[in-house]
Amino acid sequence: MAGRALIDLVHAGGPSEADLRRFTRVALEIAAETRRIVIDAVRDGFSHQRKADQTFVTDVDFAVEDRIRERLAAEFPTHAVRGEERADRPGASEYEWVVDPIDGTLSLRHGVPLFGTILALRCRGRPLVGVIDLPMLDRRYHATRGLGAFRDGRRLRIEPPESVDDEIVAVGDRRQFVGVGRSELFDRLLVAHPVVRTYADCFGHALAIEGSVGAMVDFGLRAWDVAATEVLVTEAGGEYVEVGRRPLACGDDVHDVVFGKAAVVQRVLGVLGTLT
Amino acid sequence: MAGRALIDLVHAGGPSEADLRRFTRVALEIAAETRRIVIDAVRDGFSHQRKADQTFVTDVDFAVEDRIRERLAAEFPTHAVRGEERADRPGASEYEWVVDPIDGTLSLRHGVPLFGTILALRCRGRPLVGVIDLPMLDRRYHATRGLGAFRDGRRLRIEPPESVDDEIVAVGDRRQFVGVGRSELFDRLLVAHPVVRTYADCFGHALAIEGSVGAMVDFGLRAWDVAATEVLVTEAGGEYVEVGRRPLACGDDVHDVVFGKAAVVQRVLGVLGTLT
């Protein structure tokens, strides 16, 4: 299947395998650099401020995004770049990088080690490369379309669950669901499944990619929150379903997604009910 | 306050400071050994089985508890030992060790790195020493009554929150609250506080001890789940409140507890309402 996907991509006039491998290698090099920035900042301290949307941003977010943009501009001067904290850079090609320097700034700010950095490359909107780096857990996940998903170099293959009831279901924070008018779905899920845990942000995504949680249910996401996840999940052999998408005034969309082991994703979609 | 507590303890005929330091040193040595057992098992694989209460136990739980019991028997032959997975060992003194070899077996089984080992020493029921070791996060917390709380040698001091609303509140799994007939309190808390996350087991306790979450609300706990937490929280300068305790047929009790930063604990107690 993976080989077929790559062949289809190349036939469609997309990047060559050599291109894909180079994009992936550079993304991983950048993640190694940004991890050092994050670890140094956690050790030495950093400041935070509140944004217009009332969420927080830290010096670390800006330092990491600036480093990513510097490196991408040097390596791929024609590629567009979108990031959470800085203005979009338009591109002169069909390639677009989407980055979240710190996904889980609330966790970073409070010293909860479950945050990370997200980098993703799309071509004509199609995800090609995804990287999630979890600095404090020493874990780096990456996937390349047609070439597999990996954690720290080890191939990831999501296995079917022994029992759907025994699987953990991860969710984002309840306020994400409140923010998109879907709090009743959050509440229903917590009652319906035996173990539902709020493993917010890319930590929950990483657990689903690895098969540690059976599924992740994450609502009210911006492009950078979810940019790496589809290619990571599908290359690992899991299922990725966008259950909702709504346009924002700024022209961007908000995404509601469910992903993980197919049987658990189906159970979750059944519980969510009104969406399917 | 810490010095005063130690003086009171010694005046009351309790252990000397030298005794307390020796108990603590041995507990930390044991935690270093059990961490190696856990890390090796995670790398090499392990098997699991379902217990009579439908929860899971793994080979790792048994291997860790057996190692703890061996070391305690050799070091403190007169001390009693209670552990989750093996029969109680009666003692010939007023000292009792309470241990949970793997707190968060569900997480261990699924590869979620948020589980740990708990060791605690009591004298006539009073907690003297508490250790929580988180092998996959490379974090070890310890406290000794009157001598402070530490993470990896660094003194911990819980600071008042900048804003109670911005604090994360951690909770155990909803089914813990269902199990003790208190699911409505879980649901109320999730609606009432902006960010409530299920950081179950000793990972959530550790975050509260460190001040990363403002409070942890954990219901339906057995003695070994909570044995280390009171001395860790109070020595770090936090507040620890037992909001419920009910006897079990086996003669043991089930504990419902709230702990963390005083202002956040008070907010939570207000939300729980019916209990205070």
pLDDT tens digit sequence for A66-112: 999 999 999 999 999 999 888 899 988 999 999 999 999 999 999 99
At A44, which helix (H) or strand (E)? helix A17-44
Is the pLDDT at B166 greater than 50, yes or no? Answer: yes
Distance in Å, alpha carbon of B177 to nearest chain A alpha carbon = 11
Is the pLDDT at B275 greater than 80, yes or no? Answer: no
Q: How many CA atoms lie within 13 Å of A243's alpha carbon, on the beta-carbon side?
A: 25
Question: Which pLDDT score is estimated for B252?
Answer: 87
- Average confidence (pLDDT) over B183-203: 96
pLDDT digits (tens, 9 = 90+) for B96-112: 999 999 999 999 999 99
Which residues of B have a CB under 8 Å from any CB of A? 106, 110-113, 136-137, 167-168, 173-175, 187, 190-191, 194-200, 207, 210-213
| Separation between Cα atoms, residue B76 and residue B128, nearest integer Å | 15
- Average confidence (pLDDT) over B253-268: 97
Q: In the structure encoding, which two tokens stand for residue A207, read together? A: 């657990």
Whether the CA torsion A208, A209, A212, A214 is positive or negative: it is: positive
| Separation between Cα atoms, residue B34 and residue B131, nearest integer Å | 12
Nearest to A129 by CA among A115, A146, A104: A146
Strand partners of residue A127: A122
Q: A166: nearest CA in chain B?
A: B106
Q: Do B213 and A173 touch (CB under 8 A)?
A: no
Question: Which pLDDT score is estimated for A85?
Answer: 87
| Mean pLDDT, chain A, integer | 93
Percent of chain B past pLDDT 70, that is, above it, reads: 94
What's the first-to-final CA gap in chain B, in angstroms? Answer: 26
Is the pLDDT at A2 greater than 60, yes or no? Answer: no
| Separation between Cα atoms, residue B165 and residue A175, nearest integer Å | 13
Is the pLDDT at A171 greater than 50, yes or no? Answer: yes
Q: Do A210 and B111 touch (CB under 8 A)?
A: yes
Question: Which pLDDT score is estimated for A11?
Answer: 56
CB B34 within 8 A of CB B143: no
Rounded to 5 degrees, φ, ψ at B30 are: -65, -40
Question: Which pLDDT score is estimated for A3?
Answer: 57
Percent of chain A past pLDDT 70, that is, above it, reads: 94
Distance in Å, alpha carbon of B194 to nearest chain A alpha carbon = 7
| Mean pLDDT, chain B, integer | 93
Give residue for tokens 């008042």.
B160
- Mean pLDDT check: name the lowest of A4-8, A131-135, A140-144, B253-257: A4-8
Q: In the structure encoding, which two tokens stand for residue B38, read together? A: 């856990």
Q: In the structure encoding, which two tokens stand for residue B268, read together? A: 């939570």
Question: Which pLDDT score is estimated for A252?
Answer: 87
Q: Do A212 and B110 touch (CB under 8 A)?
A: yes
B210 vs B55: which has the higher pLDDT: B210
Question: Which pLDDT score is estimated for B219?
Answer: 96
pLDDT digits (tens, 9 = 90+) for A13-34: 679 999 999 999 999 999 999 9
pLDDT band at A9 (very low <50, low <70, confident <90, very high): low
From the list B195, B198, B212, the residue facing A111 with the nearest CB is: B212
pLDDT digits (tens, 9 = 90+) for B2-46: 456 666 665 566 799 999 999 999 999 999 999 999 999 999 999
CB A259 within 8 A of CB A269: no
Q: Do B174 and A190 touch (CB under 8 A)?
A: yes
Q: Do B210 and A111 touch (CB under 8 A)?
A: yes
- Mean pLDDT check: name the lowest of A168-182, A262-276, B3-17, B177-191: B3-17
Whether the CA torsion B139, A172, A260, A12 is positive or negative: it is: negative
For an interface test with B, give the residue of A190, A199, A218 to mutate (most B CBs within 10 A): A190
Q: Do A195 and B210 touch (CB under 8 A)?
A: no
Which chain A residues are within 8 Å of B136, Cβ to Cβ? 137
Distance in Å, alpha carbon of A156 to nearest chain B alpha carbon = 13
The ipTM assigned to this model is: 0.92
Q: In the structure encoding, which two tokens stand for residue B229, read together? A: 């937490």
Which chain A residues are within 8 Å of B113, Cβ to Cβ? 137
CB A239 within 8 A of CB A233: yes
E strand spans, chain B: 48-50, 56-58, 80-83, 95-103, 116-123, 126-134, 139-144, 148-151, 154-155, 169-171, 196-198, 215-221, 239-247, 253-260
E strand spans, chain A: 48-50, 56-58, 80-83, 95-103, 116-123, 126-134, 139-144, 148-151, 154-155, 169-171, 196-198, 215-221, 239-247, 253-260
CB B158 within 8 A of CB B238: yes
**What's the whole-model pTM score?**
0.93
| Separation between Cα atoms, residue A66 and residue A50, nearest integer Å | 19
